[in-house]
Amino acid sequence: MAGDASSPAVAAGSAAWWRLVVIGLAAGLFSSLFGVGGGIIVVPLLLGLMAYTAKTATGTSLAVIVFTSVFGALAHGAYGNVRWDKALLIGVPAIAGLLIGLAISRRISNRALTLAFAVFLIVVAVRLALE
């Protein structure tokens, strides 16, 4: 299964380290510029460059977000770009959404999750293009 210890990408180990560094650089850059990085940047790159499964890419992306969101929020906060009260009102309910999404993710295939993600990205791209 791709993304686990038996996958070629993981077995290559040190040979693939540079791809992970590039993914991290892209995540940080896009996170600071546009507030994206986990789902829109890291997940597709882990799927394409590292041959992770959708579920492994998603979980790994969420771990990456811890770093980018904490440091990014603190830096943007120092510049006065964060509405901390609104972030709290969005963030706390997001925990419930995360738990619901995790329950759904456990019940669907990696293929279905990847297709759903692709549809989501297309919808977002179209909406952005029309604004």
DSSP class per residue in 24-44: HHHHHHHHHHHS--IIIIIHH
Q: What domain range is 65 assigned to?
A: 8-130
Asked if the structure places residue 1 within a domain, the reply is no
Asked if the structure places residue 19 within a domain, the reply is yes
Backbone angles phi, psi at 29, to 5 degrees: -60, -55
Asked if the structure places residue 3 within a domain, the reply is no
| CA dist., res. 51 & res. 37, Å (int) | 18
Instruction: For residue 49, give the amino acid letter.
Output: L
Asked if the structure places residue 59 within a domain, the reply is yes
Number of structural domains in the chain: 1
pLDDT for the residue 16: 84
121-130 pLDDT tens trace: 899 999 999 9
pLDDT for the residue 71: 92
3-59 pLDDT tens trace: 454 454 554 566 689 999 999 999 989 888 888 877 889 999 999 999 999 999 999
C-alpha distances out from residue 104 to 5, 6, 53, 69, 100, Å: 25, 26, 16, 24, 6
pLDDT for the residue 64: 92
Range 102-127 average pLDDT: 93
Confidence band of 76 (pLDDT split at 50, 70, 90): very high
